[in-house]
Amino acid sequence: MNKALLKELLELTPKERIELAEELWDSIEPQDMPPLTPEQKQELDRRYAEHLRDPSTAITWEEVKARLQSRFK
């Protein structure tokens, strides 16, 4: 990584750095993502089965994001 660029990026506000991280993450094509580990696959399967048992416990991404943002402000 370009150290001068990193130094410049670290001067961004925390909000700007989060937005940049989100933009960078979203720019990665699905086929370029690293594969899930067996443990990650197992956890996803467990969570999906739990959701199928009781879908009423699900919350939207917007709710998740709002909760996280309120905790870390």
Whether pLDDT at 73 is above 80: no
3-state secondary structure of 49: helix
pLDDT tens per residue, range 22-72: 999 999 999 999 999 999 999 999 999 999 999 998 999 999 999 999 988
Domain spans in the chain, listed from the N-terminal domain onward: 3-28+36-71
Query: DSSP labels for 14-42?
Result: HHHHHHHHHHHHHTS-GGGSPPPPHHHHH
φ/ψ bin of 44: left (φ > 0), alpha (ψ from -120 to 50), beta (otherwise): alpha
What is the 3-state composition of the chain as percent helix, strand, coil, each rounded to the nearest 5? 75, 0, 25
| pLDDT confidence bin for 21, thresholds 50/70/90 | very high
pLDDT over 80 (residue 4): yes
The pTM of this model reads 0.53
